[in-house]
Amino acid sequence: MTMKIEAIKTLGELKAKGYEPKTIKEELRANLLAKIKEGALLFEGIVGYDDTVIPQLINAILSQHNINLLGLRGQAKTRIARSLTDLLDDYIPIVKGSEVNDDPFAPISFYGKELVQQKGDDTPLTWVHRSDRFSEKLATPDVTVADLIGDVDPIKAANLKLSYADERVIHFGMIPRANRCIFVINELPDLQARIQVSLFNMLEEGDVQIRGFKIRLPLDVNFVFTANPEDYTNRGSIVTPLKDRIGSQIITHYPRTIDLAKKITEQEVSESAKVNTVYVPDMAKTLIEQIGFEARNNELVDAKSGVSARMSITMYENLISGATFRMLSNGQDKTSVRMSDFMSIIPAITGKVELVYEGEQEGAENVALILIGNAIKSLFNECFREIKKLSKPGVSDEFDEVVAWFMENSSFSLPVELTDDAYSDALNAIGPLEDVVSQYQGEAGTKDKVFLKEFLLWGLVEYNKLDKEEAEGGFQFEDRVLGSFYDN
């Protein structure tokens, strides 16, 4: 709105400026069309949905539909809903003192109608910013019709000396108070069926029924619902008539590539994880995301529950915290992430994945280690090459050279207390490691190459070429055959 709203304080002044009211859905549509014509950025911060969710969302808004966002946890459903406020006008006028954001041109409450009738063009106005036009409710089994729609207030009835049949005794619930706003109900299947039924007429006809009498309230609300796929949950479902009244159902999904997942994590991590004192090699960032991808496809993890993108975010934050703790313990002011720091991400995994029965038997921490191992193995194949289980007799390869080095140096270890220089020197001392990393990752930076060398060792462990044991607060690597010999 280009007019100076601070100068417009009455309905008459508003009419004089030629203000034309719009419904919220018309408002969203008009502002979206304007942004599209300008080539402006739409839905900033929503990553990975450019070719899937965003086009469907645009169509739903242009069609002036109520929307249901259907998807597993951690798929940015609530973020999408909140981003819709960017498509609202900066300010809208309401009748001053109205509980339900009455449009001064068409008030719906008894208060608003009476005030406009009495004062006409002198009706006082106030202005509401778009940030205040978003209301949200998490659906839980204890939500009542009174919470959402309203109830008779006996105290108000007594004070005003009114009968319960008078609409002035109603205490409005969250939805009427969200008139001319975006109203979001999260986890809709958790809402009891009888409460969902109370939304039928509100979505379609605008009728509100409270305590046995009906009030015609043509509410102007853009509803956005979020839900997990009902087939995946035992908690409840969306009743069919309600689904029928929701204009567009949009199915969300997890990021489909590692690069998109990395962008989401980088965008969402806390400021404390964006420190300049800890260098994070690109392979470490990739490994974080690969763990999430492995979890979503692992038979020990409940696929129906999903693996939230929040797991990658918290893993990254724990990784930085682990490296920071090590750095300070070693008396350094800067450091780089090491493979050993990945042990600090285990609590972020165990708290984010739902396990099937076999996973519960295995144990949450063991499953976390399995996921980390599988991710290392998958990235090893991309970063270097896959190691074949069978090789030709008498023919050695570049990885055999690394294993041979450990046959001659059986006591190699990487203690946590090593400074960065000592850590680099220890890995650089393994000549065959330098050859392999230079062959496959020759363009990597110096710090990244050091990380890749340790990553290569962990990969050889996953391929059963080397053994790895915790030692001296760090890890000791040794040839698998010699290790077994000494153990016996």
Please report the pLDDT score of residue 219 as a whole number: 87
Q: Is the dihedral of CA 296, 141, 314, 45 positive or negative?
A: positive
pLDDT: which is higher, 334 or 152: 334
How far apart CA 328 and CA 301 sit, in angstroms, is 35
Mean pLDDT of 467-478: 85
What lies within 8 Å, CB to CB, of 67 at 6+ separation is 57, 60, 223, 224, 225, 246, 247, 248, 249, 250
Please report the pLDDT score of residue 257 as a whole number: 95
Residue pair 218/60 in contact by the 8 Å Cβ criterion: no
pLDDT tens for each residue of 303-342? 888 898 899 999 999 999 999 999 999 999 999 999 999 9
The token duo for 282 is 């690109």
The CA-atom distances, in angstroms, between 216 and each of 108, 173, 233, 277 are 8, 15, 36, 62
pLDDT band (50, 70, 90) for residue 65: very high
Q: Is the pLDDT of residue 485 over 50?
A: no
Residue pair 89/129 in contact by the 8 Å Cβ criterion: no
Please report the pLDDT score of residue 173 as a whole number: 85
pLDDT band (50, 70, 90) for residue 408: confident
pLDDT: which is higher, 207 or 88: 88
The CA-atom distances, in angstroms, between 55 and each of 249, 250, 461 are 13, 10, 45
Q: Is the dihedral of CA 459, 464, 465, 467 positive or negative?
A: positive
Query: Tokens 């850590």 belong to which residue?
Result: 423
How far apart CA 463 and CA 332 sit, in angstroms, is 34
pLDDT tens for each residue of 87-110? 999 999 999 999 999 999 999 888
Please report the pLDDT score of residue 194 as a whole number: 83
Q: Which domains does the chain show, CATH number per domain?
A: 5-251 (3.40.50.300), 254-383 (1.10.8.80), 390-488 (1.10.10)
DSSP 387: P
Mean pLDDT of 352-365: 93
**Single-letter amino acid code for the residue at 421:** D
What lies within 8 Å, CB to CB, of 353 at 6+ separation is 295, 301, 302, 305, 307, 311, 359, 364, 367, 368
The token duo for 476 is 């000791």
Mean pLDDT of 372-376: 97
pLDDT band (50, 70, 90) for residue 423: very high
Residue pair 310/74 in contact by the 8 Å Cβ criterion: yes
